[in-house]
Amino acid sequence: MPGLTRVQKKLAKKMSGAGFPLARHDVIQEKPLGRVLSPEYELIFNRGLDGRSSNFCIFAVKEKDGSLTLDYFNPDPEGLWLKRKDFLVKARLGKDASDQEISDAVNRIAEDSRKKPTSSFHFVSHSHYGRFSMPYFSSSGERIRPGMVDHDDGVSALTDNIRKALFYQIDFHSLTSHNSFSAKAFSFMSWAGRFLGFSPVPGIEFTAPLREPNGPHFLVWMRNSNVARQVKRAIIDRGRRLEMPAYFSGMSMFEILDVLYRFREANLAALGIAHPVNFNSPSLPIPMVGLYTAVETGALELREAHDIARNFDSVAMWNASLCTTAKEVPVENRELKMFLRHLNKKHIGNKRLWVNQSNYSLSRELHDRYNLFTHFETDEHKTLPFLRDFRNGGYVLGGDSLCSGATVIEVPEELISRYGRRPTSSDLVYMLRKKAVKMYGRVFAVKRKEAMTVYSERCEIPDELRGIARHYSNTVNLRYFGMVARDFFDFLGEGKTYQIRNMPGG
């Protein structure tokens, strides 16, 4: 390990002995896409690099004085009431740290890692990014200055998505871009995953129009990129993808479902229902994009929503991007309102129609009725970058959606022993279809008398990151406004008043 300091070398040796191999630092710096995957002052250790175990990652940052700061996330499922310092763990090793000090730090890491069993895997089921760049070398080998490319409707850099997922102990990562699949981005994810220890799952978030260009959003997790290309040809290439990535035109919801069901029945894809109860904000509720809140618009009946749900593999039990203010989902449809109030009373203990409380109780009901898995979804579009913490060392962390919950996949130990390795992304999709694993969403939320809400320690953005968070939010809003405006004038020029009326998704 040339170029490492004494304390880095000693830490790497003890971490390896404790089951936390060091990622190939020399390799992962060679092919950045946007921001670098791992800066030169950082080492990444990951339990999952042994090829059998689930991930448990530690970021070791070399400070200017030669000391090391260790940052990692403690995923303790019983850690609802943990203080921030106990789930966003930070440890310091001086440049002259003794063997005992290093051993003590490694022992605490090993103890915390046992909170996530080696056969328990975490899955990013629903995520978006906004920017990536071409590799730093042209096809002829010439070094070039990368140009950033906008993709989907997110604003975060792809490498920030990858790094944050690693920090939050993610094993399987699905980029579910709206109505599109980027083979280039998936190829890069696959390359990075080989060296960092995670498995990308090809994914798409489809808008299935009930009233063009809006309709319920469905997640498709596919076994490999070849299947993704087949799905793309069967749906995306037949329809019309508009300026606003979340809009889709040219195929109806039932036509899209017919295609997706065929891939599902062939065990080539697993299907998830995204944000079934959708409420973005009081000013922009967009009920149409949730399978069950679409009933509120009159475009779907409740029994039809049930019939669709029973043909899916999983349903979102929490969406970290939805409205968090003390506003109930505005439901006027009597049958839907009575149904959701009944479920909230049954599974939560109150009848309040808060959006994620309603998603939680609905997912419990669909699991009980139709044996659906449940998944936690960040639906994150604004993943924050790692920011150096020059006051405390390491990084400024916290306030991320992945801090609030996880999708957990429990794989039987005998399967790992039989194959001698952890599951691949292709294995995962097949096992979901065959119900060979247990998958469920987990959220660090408190069931209160008035509502179920995420514990505040989990979602508070640090002061140092608030400026970036505001900038990302403003950028998203400006992009949305521009894309919707272009679609509006395109529809207007084509005389498509029906589509214009449906753009708000109400």
Closest CA to 221 of 253, 254, 169, 175: 175
pLDDT at 493: 94
Report the distance separating Cα 137 and Cα 142, nearest Å: 5
Tell me the C-alpha distance between 477 and 181, whole Å: 23
My answer on whether 161 and 174 are in the same domain is: yes
Asked if residue 139 belongs to a domain, the reply is yes
Report which of 279, 358, 265 is spatially closest to residue 315, judged by C-alpha positions.
Answer: 358
Collapsed DSSP state (helix, strand, coil) of residue 462: coil
29, 49: one domain: yes
Give buried/exposed letters for 350-374 (b at 16+ CB in 10 A, else e): bebbbbbbbbbbbbbbbbeeeebbb
Residue 500 lies in a domain: no
- Domain assignment present for residue 499? The answer is no
Query: Which ranges constitute the DSSP H helices of 299-412?
Result: 302-309, 334-347, 355-370
β-bridge mates for residue 22, sequence order: 45
Is residue 22 a part of any domain in this protein? Answer: yes
User: Does residue 110 sit in the same domain as residue 235?
Assistant: no
* pLDDT average per 10 residues of sequence, the chain (506 residues): 86 98 73 65 97 98 97 96 96 97 98 98 96 54 55 87 97 97 90 94 98 97 98 95 92 98 99 97 90 97 98 98 89 98 95 96 99 98 94 96 98 96 98 98 89 91 95 90 93 92 90
Question: Can you give the pLDDT at residue 325?
Answer: 83
pLDDT of residue 28: 60
User: SS in 3 state form for 263-315?
Assistant: HHHCCCEEEEECCCCCCCCCCCCCHHHCCCHHHHHCCCCHHHHHHHHCCCCEE
Q: Which of 116, 134, 168 is the last residue of a domain?
A: 116
Q: Do residues 105 and 131 both lie within one domain?
A: no
The total of other beta-carbon atoms located within 10 Å of residue 41's CB is: 12
Give me the domain span that covers residue 58: 6-116
- pLDDT value of position 27: 61
Q: Which of 180, 273, 185, 263 is nearest to 223 (CA)?
A: 263
Closest CA to 319 of 290, 282, 283, 339: 290
The predicted model scores a pTM of 0.94
User: Residue 279: its pLDDT value, please?
Assistant: 94
Which residue's entry shows tokens 């590799």?
A: 135
Q: Which of 70, 86, 116 is the last residue of a domain?
A: 116
Whether residues 139 and 244 share a domain: the answer is: yes
Determine the pLDDT at residue 149: 62
154 shares a domain with 54: no
Same domain, 237 and 223: yes
Q: Are residues 180 and 193 in the same domain?
A: yes
Residue 225 and residue 360 in one domain: yes
What is the Cα–Cα distance from 198 to 162, expressed in whole angstroms?
Answer: 9
The Cα 30–Cα 24 span in angstroms is: 11
- Please report the pLDDT score of residue 34 as a whole number: 47
* 176 phi/psi in degrees, rounded to 5: -110, 70
3-state secondary structure of 134: coil
Shared domain for 84 and 178, answered yes or no, is: no
> Among 326, 246, 247, 344, which residue's Cα sits nearest to residue 282?
326
Query: Is position 319 within any domain?
Result: yes
Last residue of a domain, one of 116, 137, 157: 116
- Tell me whether residue 495 is in a domain: no
Report yes or no on 498 lying in a domain.
no
Nearest in space to 226 (alpha carbons), one of 196, 247, 202: 202
Q: In the chain, count H helices and then E strands.
A: 16, 23
**55 plus 155 within the same structural domain:** no
Residue 50 per-residue DSSP state: G
- DSSP state, 140? T
Per-residue CA distances from 13 to 72, 340, 447 (Å): 18, 55, 44
What total number of domains does the chain contain? 2
pLDDT of residue 138: 45
CATH code, domain carrying 419: 3.20.20.140
Are 83 and 144 in the same domain? no
- Contact between 444 and 366 (Cβ < 8 Å): no
Beta strands in 27-77 (DSSP E): 42-46, 57-62, 68-73
Q: Is the residue at 477 inside a domain? A: no
